């Protein structure tokens, strides 16, 4: 559609710019000519810059055959009526009032377009922050506990898509419950925020794979609409490692105190035990085996030897020397430890398999101490596994944590939660002949290497120990 404009003022300039920037869908309007006697009007000057046909007299338009529409912008009904009387029947005409209406519609269209673009940018920015920059798990939850939205971090953890959880209840997705969380063990920060209109925070315990405990810090923030709380933004963060680290530090401090006490007790007991053992053996040599006291002295000697083994374990536990770390091939350390327990496995008729990762980097560690820790775990696994069972040992590199992992699992009897919580305590044992120091020593070795040791176990389903050791330079000696 070819347009001619009568009047070259500000409104003419606005019309030129509107047509220039607006994307029309069905028609392709363009301005061909402008009539304006005043050479200083901004619309006329712009038309001249664009190379359009510019004239002082609009009657020149009637001589052209390529004009489809004449727009009068002089606010003069006389001029508009004159145009209506002189134009060809195929040419349309619009008065300044009608043109003003279209200009207002155009401005609204531009405003709508600009608003839409801003909303799209805001939506893109919101999506970026919601799904990429926030590493916590985020849920937007309505007052009835139904999920309105969730970010990618949460969706990835629960292994579901957005459409699969929106509309379902939050406690159903994150806690696998039929009713909202409550009580002292599982206080619901969402309920508190909905009730008070203030942010709230609590720590929840979830069950991960293998029923291992996962600790989550949950914070809730109210969403207001017209002064009323209409929903909540819930942010959850896995703090399991932080909790375990704190527990390990507390456990280590307890071990140090017990170790000092054990060392003192062991040294005080060792000398009397040596005297008892020597005296009983000398007295036994003076008697015939048929003598009634011979067996009694033999019992005294055997029990004294057993006490000395316990004292030796106490000294090993108390000593816990600082690791002398050197660069080692962890797979080689694990393989040697397996070799040293090979006879024990054959005697118990237990199959031992190994799956050692080939991409492990060198690790700075005290080879002797780590072997001692691994042998303790392997022997425990073999003793807990009945004939025909299996023990699996694997290693892997965890790039995210810049650490290596050693996993020892068995198909043995497993442990209850109560026993599992005490296995690293000194002198705690479920064996008739155990000292209760093997796992305590193992725990101390791993902690002194800056690592962690976790256990997963259920009665009848075996046990799995996971050791994580950091890949650092340490003190190379």
Strands 228-238 and 53-55: unpaired
Q: Tell me: the pLDDT tens digits for 250-279?
A: 766 766 666 666 666 666 777 788 888 888
Rounded to the nearest angstrom, the gap between the alpha carbon of residue 132 and the centroid of all alpha carbons in its chain is: 11
E strand or H helix at 447? helix 438-448
| Residue 397 tokens, joined | 């590199």
DSSP, residue by residue, 88-121? -TT-EEE-HHHHHHHHHHHHHHHHHHHHHHHHHH
Strand partners, 363: 328
Domain with CATH 3.40.50.720 in the chain: 2-108
Q: Which two tokens stand for residue 427?
A: 């002198």
Torsion of CA 271, 275, 280, 285, to 10 degrees: 120
| Tens-digit pLDDT profile for residues 209-247 | 555 677 888 888 888 888 888 888 888 888 888 877 777
- CATH class of segment(s) 326-470: alpha beta
Tell me the C-alpha to C-alpha distance, in Å, between residue 241 and each of 66, 137, 323, 404, 451.
79, 16, 23, 15, 11
Q: HSE (CB half, 13 Å, CA atoms) of 347?
A: 7
Contact 42, 13 (CB under 8 A): yes
- Measured CA to CA, the distance from residue 234 to residue 217 in angstroms comes to 10
CB 232 within 8 A of CB 141: yes
Element of type H or E holding 223: strand 213-225
How many helices and strands in the chain, by DSSP H and E? 15, 17
- CATH 3.30.565.10 maps onto the chain at 326-470
**Residue 146 per-residue DSSP state:** B
pLDDT category at 48 given cuts 50, 70, 90 is very high
Beta bridge partner(s), residue 470: 403
**Helix (H) or strand (E) run with residue 376 in it:** helix 367-384
What architecture (CATH level 2) is domain 243-319?
A: Orthogonal Bundle (1.10)
Q: What is the pLDDT of residue 52?
A: 93
Q: For residues 371 and 351, is the Cβ–Cβ distance under 8 A? A: no
The CATH 1.10.287 domain(s) of the chain lie at 243-319
Strand partners, 327: 364
**What's the CA gap between 99 and 73, in Å, rounded?**
8
Q: What is the DSSP letter of 35?
A: E
CATH annotation of 2-108: 3.40.50.720
Q: Who wins on pLDDT, 317 or 242? A: 242
Q: Contact at 8 Å (CB) between 453 and 467? A: yes
CA-to-CA distance for 48 and 214, rounded, in angstroms?
Answer: 75
- pLDDT, tens digit (0-9, with 9 covering 90-100), for 349-370: 999 999 999 888 999 988 888 9
Q: Is the pLDDT of residue 132 over 80?
A: no
What's the pLDDT tens digit per position in 395-427? 998 876 688 999 999 998 888 888 887 787 766
d(CA 233, CA 361): 42
User: Backbone phi, then psi, for 239, in 5-degree steps?
Assistant: -115, 25
Q: What is the mean pLDDT of residues 104-121?
A: 54
Three-class DSSP category at 277: helix
Residue 125: is its pLDDT beyond 50? no
Over residues 436-475, the pLDDT tens digits come to 667 888 888 888 888 888 899 888 889 999 999 988 755 4
- Domain 134-238: CATH architecture, name and number where available: 2-Layer Sandwich (3.30)
Q: What local confidence, expressed as pLDDT, does residue 408 receive?
A: 94
List all residues 6 or more positions away from 376 whose beta carbon is below 8 Å from its beta carbon: 438, 439, 441, 442
CA distances to 158, 293, 402, 420 from 458, rounded to whole Å, are 23, 48, 29, 9
Q: Could you tell me where in the chain the CATH 3.30.450.20 domains are found? A: 134-238
Q: Which 3 state secondary structure label does DSSP give 469?
A: strand
**Residue (of 64, 45, 50) closest to 2 by Cα position:** 64
For residue 115, pLDDT over 50 is answered with no
Q: Using pLDDT thresholds of 50, 70 and 90, give the confidence band for residue 59.
A: very high
For residue 297, the SS3 value is: helix
């Amino acid at each position: 559609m070819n347009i001619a404009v009568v009047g070259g003022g500000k409104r003419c300039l606005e019309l030129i710019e509107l047509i220039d920037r607006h994307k029309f869908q069905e028609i392709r309007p363009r301005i061909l000519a402008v009539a304006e006697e005043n050479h200083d009007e901004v619309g006329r000057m712009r038309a001249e810059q664009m190379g359009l046909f510019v004239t002082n007299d609009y009657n020149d338009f009637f001589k052209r055959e390529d004009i489809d529409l004449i727009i009068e912008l002089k606010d003069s009904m006389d001029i508009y009526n004159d145009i209506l009387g002189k134009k060809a029947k195929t040419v349309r005409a619009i008065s300044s009032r009608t043109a003003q209406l279209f200009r207002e519609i155009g401005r609204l269209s531009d405003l709508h377009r600009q608003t839409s673009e801003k909303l799209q940018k805001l939506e893109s920015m919101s999506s970026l922050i919601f799904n990429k920059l926030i590493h916590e798990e985020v849920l937007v939850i309505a007052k009835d506990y139904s999920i309105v939205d969730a970010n990618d971090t949460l969706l990835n953890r629960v292994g579901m898509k957005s459409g699969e959880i929106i509309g379902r209840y939050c406690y159903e997705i994150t806690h696998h419950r039929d009713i909202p969380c409550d009580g002292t063990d599982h206080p619901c920060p969402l309920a508190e925020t909905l009730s008070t209109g203030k942010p709230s925070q609590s720590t929840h315990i979830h069950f991960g794979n293998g029923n291992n405990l996962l600790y989550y810090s949950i914070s809730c923030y109210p969403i207001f609409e017209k002064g009323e709380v209409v929903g909540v933004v819930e942010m959850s963060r896995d703090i399991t490692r932080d909790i375990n680290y704190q527990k390990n530090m507390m456990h280590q401090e307890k071990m140090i105190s017990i170790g000092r006490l054990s060392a003192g007790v062991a040294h005080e007991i060792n000398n009397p035990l040596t005297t008892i053992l020597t005296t009983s053996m000398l007295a036994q040599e003076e008697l015939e085996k048929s003598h009634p006291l011979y067996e009694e002295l033999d019992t005294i000697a055997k029990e004294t030897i057993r006490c000395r083994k316990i004292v030796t374990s106490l000294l090993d536990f108390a000593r816990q020397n600082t690791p002398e770390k050197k660069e080692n091939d962890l797979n080689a350390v694990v393989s040697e430890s397996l070799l040293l327990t090979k006879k024990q496995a054959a005697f118990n008729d237990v199959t031992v398999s190994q799956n050692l990762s080939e991409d492990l980097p060198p690790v700075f560690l005290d080879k002797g101490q780590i072997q001692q820790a691994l042998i303790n775990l392997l022997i425990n696994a073999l003793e807990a596994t009945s004939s025909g069972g299996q023990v699996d040992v694997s290693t892997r590199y965890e790039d995210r944590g810049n650490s290596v992992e050693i996993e020892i699992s068995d198909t043995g009897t497993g442990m209850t939660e109560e026993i599992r919580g005490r296995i690293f305590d000194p002198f705690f044992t479920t064996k008739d002949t155990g000292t209760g120091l093997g796992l305590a020593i193992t725990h101390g070795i791993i902690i002194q290497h800056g690592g962690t040791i976790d256990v997963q176990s259920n009665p009848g389903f075996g046990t799995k120990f996971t050791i994580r050791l950091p890949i650092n330079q340490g003190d190379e000696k």
